[in-house]
Structure 1
Amino acid sequence: MQLPQRVFVGALVVPMLLASVGTAFRPSGEIEPGHLVFAVRSSEIVLAGTAGSAHERQEVVDAVRVVTAAHRITDMITPYAGERMPVTAADAASLLGVVLDHGVTDFTGVVHKGRLTASARVADPERAGVLSDALRAAVPDLRVDEDFTSD
């Protein structure tokens, strides 16, 4: 599967499937962590996923804005009372900060059920290893699975 197809599947299709499956099997009244997708595309950052409230959604967007003023932020996070963010706003900003600090301009990350699934295009395998280590250090509680492609 080519990187653009993996990005599409990882950023849009998988979270929608996870959300639909999760709502079918969740006991009523229980608030579970949802999912968060963030994608860096050159000068744009796309945020998607589910938040427990509009306030929680805004906290994530504001935290990301603090990390970068140079990127346009597209917010597609949906407030949904049955789910909450899988990471704090500070953790989301920390993960994004690592990506931007390493100069990655083509990145997709999905945080769900204690796992960050990341794909990126990086300059070389050495930088891929450094990025992988930095993502793991940014939020140590997350398991990181990556699929990095080098030019």
Structure 2
Amino acid sequence: MQLPQRVFLGALVVPMLLASVGTVFRPATEIEPGHLVFAVRSSEIVLAGTAGTAAERQEVVDAVRVLTASYRITDMITPNAGERMPVSSGVVSGLLGVVLDQGVTEFTGVVHKGHLTASARVADPERAGALSDALRAAAPDLRVDEDFTSD
């Protein structure tokens, strides 16, 4: 390789490599919170979204596993170095615990940018109110919007 080609490659490739490494090794305070979707469908709990590391993802899955042995857990959380979980594993297990304690078998929750959007099918309006109150108590730092339907 001739000197001009080396200089050109060095001027182009090295900054690109350094920039990509810089995004992977950013301090945690600079990493943006991602999103989390959790759903309860009869006997299955589905988890999806983004986590900063595989360990962070596993922490959430383990926290949900501790809640129940009777539900199949489907994990579709993707580790992404540019994003972290929007809430802690404790908040995730608290929210899902509320849903399971209320006996809700059709529930979807999306956490993104400090906001929980929840939809569920509940037995009656009283249970809808109890679920709404319990979700707000389980995650007081999140703004909660819900769309509950009763049978």
TM (norm. structure 2) is 0.81
Equivalents in 1 of 2:70, 2:108: separation in Å? 18
- Name stretches of at least 5 consecutive residues in structure 2 with no aligned partner: 1-22
What is aligned with 1:66? 66
What is aligned with 1:131? 131
How far off is 1:139 after superposition? 1.1
Alpha-carbon displacement from aligned partner over 1:58-100 (angstroms, at most 9, x marks no partner): 0000000001111000000000000000000010000000000
Matching of residues 37-76 of structure 1 within 5 Å: 37-76=37-76
Equivalents in 2 of 1:98, 1:34: separation in Å? 23
Residue type of the alignment partner of 1:65? R
Alpha-carbon displacement from aligned partner over 1:25-76 (angstroms, at most 9, x marks no partner): xxx6531000000000000000000000000000000000001111000000
Measured on the aligned residues, the alpha-carbon RMSD in Å equals: 0.8
What is aligned with 1:95? 95
What is aligned with 1:146? 146
What is aligned with 2:32? 32
Equivalent residues, number: 124
Moved beyond 4 Å, runs of 4+: none
What is aligned with 2:118? 118
Equivalents in 2 of 1:83, 1:46: separation in Å? 20
Equivalents in 1 of 2:32, 2:68: separation in Å? 29
Equivalents in 2 of 1:104, 1:112: separation in Å? 22
Equivalents in 1 of 2:130, 2:123: separation in Å? 11
What is aligned with 2:16? none
Residue type of the alignment partner of 1:115? H
Equivalents in 2 of 1:66, 1:130: separation in Å? 23
The SS at the match of 1:81 is coil
Structure of larger gyration radius: 2
The SS at the match of 1:50 is strand
Identity %: 84
Equivalents in 2 of 1:148, 1:106: separation in Å? 10
TM (norm. structure 1) is 0.81
The SS at the match of 2:137 is helix
